[in-house]
Amino acid sequence: MRVLIVEDEPELMSYLSLLLGNAGLVVDRTDSVEAALAALRTAPFDIAVVDRRLPDGDGLSIVKAMAKTENRPAFLMLTARDAKPDVIEGLNGGADDYLVKPFEPGELIARVRVLARRRHPKRSLVLNAGNLSLDLEGRNASVGMETLDLRRREALILEALVQRTGRVVTRDVLIEAVYGFDDLIESNTLEAQISRLRRKLRDAGADVEITSLRGIGYILKKVEPAF
Ligand code: CA
């Protein structure tokens, strides 16, 4: 799940990034209407958390500009203004939800989860592939009774692969699902994470494995029986 934060206050931005990152989302950050629109037109986002008061305009103009586009994210607006008309204006303007600052961290996460569920209603919260089970809410993976100790990005990689079990997932799709724009991706970062993940699956006795297709991507499939 990928989220774009549009906020011009550096402290609040760091706080929001930390909260949403810890909740298992891939976070990208922008601080103006213009930068947000550029980001939204460049990559698919599931959710955008948008401040109303931005240096170059009202955050609501982002919602309006994206209204008719195909990959419009769910918009959660933030505002310091607590005037009811402002909230009503936001919701009428096409925002999916509204949160007034200051807010409780738990409330932000809960609202983002509601938007995520609404966006992917059919996405089960527990995904299975063979004897591997991945709990998206708790970000836990287990094989039988054994829990895999996964780092955040390893869990995101596994999520992207399990959702497409048996199908090829290109390197670009994986990178988009796992990293934000600002993340420094060295050429072998993904490969290193995949190889750790592969080892963890094997050590836990998973009956699925990650196979590389050189130059194309990866596929999660049943372990071929050895003869
Ligand atoms: Ca602001």
Model pLDDT for residues 67-96, shown as the tens digit of each residue: 988 889 999 999 876 667 777 888 888 899
Instruction: Report every protein residue that has its C-beta within 5 angstroms of ion ligand 1.
Output: 8, 51, 53
Residue 39, C-beta contacts closer than 8 angstroms, at least 6 positions apart: 4, 28, 30, 45, 181
**Does the predicted model carry a pTM greater than 0.75?**
no
CA of 120 to the centre of ligand 1 (A): 29
CA of 78 to the centre of ligand 1 (A): 9
Residue linked to tokens 């609202």: 111
CA of 193 to the centre of ligand 1 (A): 36
SS3 189: helix
CA of 54 to the centre of ligand 1 (A): 5
pLDDT of 155-180, one tens digit each? Answer: 889 999 998 999 999 998 888 888 87
Burial class of residue 94, CB neighbours in 10 A (0-12, 13-18, 19+): middle
pLDDT of 121-143, one tens digit each? Answer: 766 678 889 999 988 776 789 99
